[in-house]
Chains A and B, each alone.
Chain A
């Protein structure tokens, strides 16, 4: 019986849900603004996003109600399904009607009215799998113990890299590290691996695809004040920066912002570069509001992790929080010209069904953790004394 008991009187639960809804609504409006449009009512794209929000809320509710602990036995099934879908994307024989490459990347499965992006699903499956693996162990307190979780991470990440989707792939490693840190891995080990990784990063540059190199080069150029690629490689980023900065403190307002965005032709305005649109419309204040709401969501997830005593729930919460934090930071960084353009969405706000559904599913999963009362006799997990 105790399993059916839930606790809804939790502040972090409602800040979590509230921030998610607020960001989603803001997103729908921003997508409408980005569509320019002088017609009455929401643009088709914004309308569609509204539908996704509705579906997403149902999905969130669905992922909140059956206890997340029931995921335990099927974790590896989910993981295998995610990997299977990612492999499916890469089969060259799959007809274009099912997997239509966009900008040369095989990321999407065409389901008629809805395009499904298996990578978004794989993100969550990977977090759950890593959480499941780490929950009762302490092997990762040794360096060699990093290998199994790294392997769990590497499989979906490499498959996503092959699509190629550098943006999404880049989220996996920081998320894994966040989960390892939370689970009590020795910080010096983590620091060592991060240091090695950073030191060898330039060596990875030659293996990047030309357009990926181009974006990094463009960022470096721009950081050096070289605007020679204004019409080519740096075009998108310079446009994004310009439109964000143009918002000033309070934004351009609805009408003017629509006109300015319409004539500036910012590529992916309603998608990857939506943050620039928000800042253009609402200015510094709007940008800070988005950042604040993101932090509220992340903070709520962290509190949920802190409140529960179940190691599985703890690590899922940390993983989801980390994933969203990194994704939001990279996306915003991209729009403000401090990160290369890698093509990832801003959670809740960017147009796109799968992204929206994944973010709301993550919210549902966190709510799921939040409403479970602590199990009796549960002891605190991941307490390894002071020798970290």
Chain B
């Protein structure tokens, strides 16, 4: 009895308790161990074995961008930048070198030398170190094949920029520190610059001295130190150069020179013979450019592109410093253009190597003809006189000489391919790099916008052709119906829904022609009353449906940047009866882009078959038959023919005093077309930055439209051309001559065989 109570007394119970706690602890650990080794074992093993393998990446080449004729618009150019550390530029390197040399030369005395004595010793050898550095720069200039002065200048520029930057950063830091101390202590504290002067980032990294050297030069730079003078301990007395692989994206057709025949210009601008016109930033908006910063969105997009096997993910992933397409086709076709890296897996334990070759990016072939593109851009450059405000333009509210911004689109009617698409102003990638503010901060000219597809504009009278064909097809307008132009739609309201002829000349088309108007005549003279009536009869719903059928509200998915799909109706899509009447002449709540206009006219020229415009030559065609009544198409074609070929047509001539001058003067072609002068919302800026008022109106007036289709004489239309010039006033006077020059450009590039070239325009080269 005593034995058993002894054996299991309090102490033993306590021992048992402690042992149980211990055992419990170890059971928990065992359970954790079991989970790790069994449930997670395979994954963890794979993780651990990853360390046995190293991965090396081999570069891939980005695909090229080609134009319709196989010209290379963008390609990778292997190139290297040569950089040196900032301390070399600042002179710090030479000082350090001198200090080291002084120490080595006076090893015994150095330890005991006073500070001033040391300074003296250093000063003695400084000239030698500086001479070494001169030698270094000389050799660098030699390999770079650049005058030494240029290298010196570059170094001076870098030094100045970095010092300015450091001064700014330090001053800001000083102010911050003072404010912080003031907040903490409640007293004004002065912080000296010395207390905050830490090297800024620019002082710690290498700076590029020579850009874009060739392969051979890069090799020479890498070997440069071999030729350096050597100090007594065998170390080179030149600083290290850093050769950075900066394979560049090159755009050979970014700047071009094209011959323009000024003899075909309107008489005030006409000059004899050809003029070589330099065009900068050709197709910049279409092609885009590259940036070297990688954002998270790029990774995410890549992930969705290459979700097939995960392999592609790691071979396609972005590394720091990779180039990424930005804007235009470079961005939109990033997945096509960017290739997959090659990979070499080395198993460290066995030495076995697995190689996956790199896969180059695919080429992108565009439908653009870069020579045509350059010509179109040339005629739209303000230098030639057509694209800036002129006395003879009349109607613009802007001062004479103001450059006019705008856009043009040229479509191949049978295929829907975009042959040229110009927006002005354009810019070069150099401007983009050097002065991005000029491009992205200009709220008035907005150079970054691709006006041909990226900004919505009121269409104006060019839609009258669509209205006539729609109304006849929908049965709300009989083909032989005539409408009398009374100057304004409502007999008792002379202040609203007026015809342009009434507004400008206080007369009517009835008075001008002597009879009520038929459809083609109404197109010819662009009678508003006729089309107000047609639109009122169509009604809001059917009218809107016609706009939609012609492409308003639909994306083209060109893949070259933001697309303004156009708008219909108010914020919720609502269209009142009054809105519908306005929309009959392309005003009111409707907007579209120059590409919409070219597309709609191409659709009419195809007999109602709409082929969505495309710019990727390998993209499949998307076509839809709008089922437009053939008689309606004939009436429209007749109207468009009259408008530019008949003396009374709004698109027929320019008038200089008593002299009438036809807008279209290319021989051997047939032209159909329509003018549009569309009231546009004004652009106002806030000059003092203090609020909505007073505001300064910087752009006001009408947008000038002209849309034509053109073909060789006696043949159906082959190309559709839309031109829109912002705030330029009259469609006929401003956009008309530009349209005419685009026809000349098509002829010069051989697009209208059979059309005779004007004598001076013996087809010049480009490029």
Q: Interface residues, chain A, CB within 8 Å of chain B?
A: 178, 181-182, 184, 241-249, 252, 259-260, 263-265, 279-280, 283-284, 287-288, 291, 294-295, 298-299, 302, 305-306, 314, 318, 321-322, 325, 329, 332-333, 336-338, 380-386, 388
Contacts and interface: CB of A to CB of B under 8 A. Distances in A.
B726 to A, nearest CB: 50
26 contacts: A182-B11, A241-B44, A242-B48, A245-B41, A246-B41, A246-B49, A247-B37, A248-B37, A248-B42, A252-B45, A259-B349, A260-B48, A260-B49, A263-B52, A263-B348, A264-B51, A279-B36, A287-B33, A288-B30, A291-B26, A291-B30, A291-B33, A295-B26, A329-B25, A381-B11, A384-B10
A127 to B, nearest CB: 14
Nearest to A260: B48
A333 B15 contact: no
A279 B23 CA distance: 20
Interface in B1-44: 6, 9-12, 14-15, 17-19, 22-23, 25-26, 28-30, 32-34, 36-38, 40-44
A291 B29 contact: yes
Nearest to A303: B15
B47 interface: yes
A388 B10 CA distance: 9
Given A178-B18, A181-B17, A241-B36, A314 B11 contact: yes
Given A245-B41, A384-B10, A385-B10, A295 B23 contact: yes
A284 B11 contact: no
Given A260-B51, A329-B29, A245 B44 contact: yes
A382 B19 CA distance: 17
A338 B40 CA distance: 15
A382 to B, nearest CB: 4
A294 B42 CA distance: 28
Contact of B19 (A248, A280, A298, A333): A298
B44 A325 contact: no
A41 to B, nearest CB: 21
A249 B51 contact: no
A264 B29 contact: no
A35 B110 CA distance: 45
A64 B638 CA distance: 121
A53 B23 CA distance: 27
Nearest to B40: A245
Q: Which of B11, B38, B49 has the most CB of A within 10 A?
A: B11
Contact of B51 (A265, A305, A384): A265
Contacts of B10: 184, 382-386, 388
Contacts of B33: 244, 279, 284, 287-288, 291, 332, 336
B52 A259 contact: yes
Contact of A279 (B15, B25, B37): B37
Contacts of B25: 325, 329
Interface string B210-244: 00000000000000000000000000000000000
Given A259-B52, A329-B29, A245 B14 contact: no
Q: Which of B6, B43, B51, B349 has the most CB of A within 10 A?
A: B51
Say whether chain B's binding surface is mostly helix, strand, loop, or mixed: helix
B23 A322 contact: no
Contact of B47 (A184, A242, A381): A242
Interface of B: 6, 9-12, 14-15, 17-19, 22-23, 25-26, 28-30, 32-34, 36-38, 40-45, 47-49, 51-52, 348-349
A248 B51 CA distance: 17
A382 B52 CA distance: 58
A246 B44 contact: yes
B45 A248 contact: yes
Say whether chain A's binding surface is mostly helix, strand, loop, or mixed: helix
B49 A302 contact: no
B48 A243 contact: yes
B40 A380 contact: no
Nearest to A290: B33
Q: Which of A284, A298, A381, A386 has the most CB of B within 10 A?
A: A284
A284 B34 contact: yes
Contact of A248 (B15, B17, B41): B41
Given A184-B10, A299-B19, A382-B10, A245 B37 contact: yes
B296 to A, nearest CB: 15
Contacts of A246: 41, 44-45, 47-49
Nearest to A185: B14
B19 A184 contact: no
A199 B676 CA distance: 81
B44 to A, nearest CB: 3
A318 B32 contact: no
A135 to B, nearest CB: 12
Contact of B9 (A245, A280, A298, A380): A380
B34 to A, nearest CB: 6
A184 B18 CA distance: 12
Contacts of B51: 260, 263-265
A383 B2 CA distance: 13
Given A302-B15, A338-B32, A247 B41 contact: yes
Nearest to A333: B29
A383 B11 CA distance: 6
Contacts of A314: 11
B7 to A, nearest CB: 8
Nearest to A332: B29
Contacts of A264: 48, 51
A160 to B, nearest CB: 23
Contacts of B23: 295
B45 to A, nearest CB: 4
B19 A181 contact: no
A332 to B, nearest CB: 5
Given A245-B41, A288-B30, A263 B349 contact: yes
A305 B25 CA distance: 20
Nearest to B26: A291
Nearest to B9: A383
A260 B32 CA distance: 22
Nearest to B41: A248
Nearest to A339: B29
Contacts of A283: 37
Contact of A336 (B11, B36, B38, B41): B36
B533 to A, nearest CB: 70
A284 B38 contact: yes
Contacts of A299: 19
A184 B14 contact: yes
A383 B14 CA distance: 10
B38 A248 contact: yes
Contact of B18 (A260, A322, A329): A322
B48 A336 contact: no
A292 to B, nearest CB: 9
A287 B349 contact: no
B490 to A, nearest CB: 71
B446 to A, nearest CB: 41
A338 B26 CA distance: 12
Question: What 3 A-B pairs have minimum CB-CB distances, sorted nearest first?
Answer: A245-B44, A246-B48, A245-B36
A288 B36 CA distance: 13
A179 to B, nearest CB: 10
Contacts of A380: 6, 9, 11
Given A284-B33, A336-B32, A383-B11, A260 B38 contact: no
A39 B38 CA distance: 32
Contacts of B18: 178, 181-182, 302, 318, 321-322
Contacts of A337: 32
B15 to A, nearest CB: 5
A234 B471 CA distance: 73
Contacts of A247: 37, 41, 45
Contact of A284 (B12, B15, B37, B52): B37
Given A248-B45, A298-B19, A260 B14 contact: no
A306 B12 contact: yes
Contacts of A383: 9-11
Contact of B22 (A260, A287, A325, A336): A325
